[in-house]
Amino acid sequence: MKNVIFPLLLIFLLISCKNKAPQANTYTGNALGTSYQVKYFSSENFNIEKALDSIFEVINVSMSTYRGDSDISRINDTGEDVEVDVHFKNVFNYSKQIFKESKGYFDPTVGSLVNAYGFGPDKPLNEPNQTVLDSIREFVGFEKISLTETNRIKKENPRIFIDFNAIAKGYTIDVIAEYLDANNVENYLIELGGELGAKGQNLERESPWMVAIDNPQQTGEKRALQTVVALNNRAMATSGNYRKFRIDSLTGNRYVHTINPLNGKAEKSNLLSASVLAENCTLADGYATAFMALGYEKSLEMLEELDNVDVYFIYVDDAESIRVFTSNGFEEALVED
């Protein structure tokens, strides 16, 4: 009888381990100049802290404009012949796609124009004259750079400055999601600087992941929410932080300035906030930035050409009233009060 008990006990232990309920895990920190939070459910043990540190380091070494030794800084500052890594290549190709889809309004080389205008909520807006704008526009335009077959960047003008900050956070979320997928995690929420990627559901609440969109009219430090979204196997990015708005001295209305990369002009945009649902966070991040540059009407035109993309726009109409446009797919994801 004793000889039978041990094998049965071993089988029981193996079954128990195999059927162990997924446990909640949450990791927070700072990376890429912002904060992050990763929450997931898993019955397996793996060193996610080490993995996150490694992912953030690789992305920084590849695309951080704040690191002088990064690949992108070496390309920007010295024109050095650098063989870029797969992450740089992926972000470049996504940027090229969105650049074309937005007819040039999403442009990772527009930084020189942004600097010329001196954007910032606490700064007076500079007004460069046409001569200055024309000289700057010579080294603005994503169509003026290319990626060679040997994974090197070729510029038409050496002064072209590349900046992937408008899309890199979303891409980093996708890289983290791939890591979790590879470790058989079926339920997770990743947040990095306000951008989000989700899979499965929140097992603690037995519901989809609930995320919020900020109210762009909020004032002060206390957070005010516009609405709540049930995020289910999609990514969401929002562009249009209220701290970037200015106040019209005549009407008292809030507005944002955006750069039109096609003519170099700073334009007053009627789109206050753009939240985007997409199949991955790289696209969601890039599209949100593109829509803010396009403005409300042009964004609707672009949206008609996109598949599997849904939006929540907060904009100002001709009567200076705050309005909301919600696509059908986004409407279905909204949580009723």
Domain of residue 192, residue span: 25-333
Measure the CA–CA gap between 149 and 52, rounded to whole angstroms: 30
281-304: pLDDT as tens digits:
999 999 999 999 999 999 999 999
Q: Is 14 contained in some domain?
A: no
Q: Is 5 contained in some domain?
A: no
Measure the CA–CA gap between 103 and 293, rounded to whole angstroms: 11
Token readout for 293 is 């540059």
Residue 313 predicted with pLDDT over 60: yes
Q: What is the pLDDT of residue 118?
A: 73
Residue 90 predicted with pLDDT over 60: yes
Q: What is the pLDDT of residue 331?
A: 95
Q: Whole-model pTM?
A: 0.88
Q: Is 310 contained in some domain?
A: yes
| Distances, alpha carbon 48 to alpha carbons 28, 153, 328, in Å | 11, 33, 36
Residue 121 predicted with pLDDT over 50: no
Q: Is 2 contained in some domain?
A: no
Residue 95 predicted with pLDDT over 60: yes
Q: Is 31 contained in some domain?
A: yes
Average pLDDT over residues 190-211: 95
Provide the sign of the torsion angle of the four alpha carbons 191, 327, 291, 76, taken in this order.
positive
The model's confidence at residue 19, banded by pLDDT at 50, 70 and 90, is low
Q: Is 124 contained in some domain?
A: yes
Residue 109 predicted with pLDDT over 90: yes
Q: What is the pLDDT of residue 325?
A: 97
- Residue 117 half-sphere exposure, CB side, CA atoms within 13 Å? 19
We report the CATH number of the domain holding residue 267 as 3.10.520.10
Q: What is the pLDDT of residue 15?
A: 47
The model's confidence at residue 322, banded by pLDDT at 50, 70 and 90, is confident
Residue 308 predicted with pLDDT over 90: yes
Q: Is 57 contained in some domain?
A: yes
215-252: pLDDT as tens digits:
766 555 666 678 899 998 999 999 975 445 555 555 55
Residue 7 predicted with pLDDT over 70: no
Q: Is 13 contained in some domain?
A: no
Measure the CA–CA gap between 320 and 270, rounded to whole angstroms: 9
156-191: pLDDT as tens digits:
999 999 999 999 999 999 999 999 999 999 999 999
State the total domains in the chain. Answer: 1
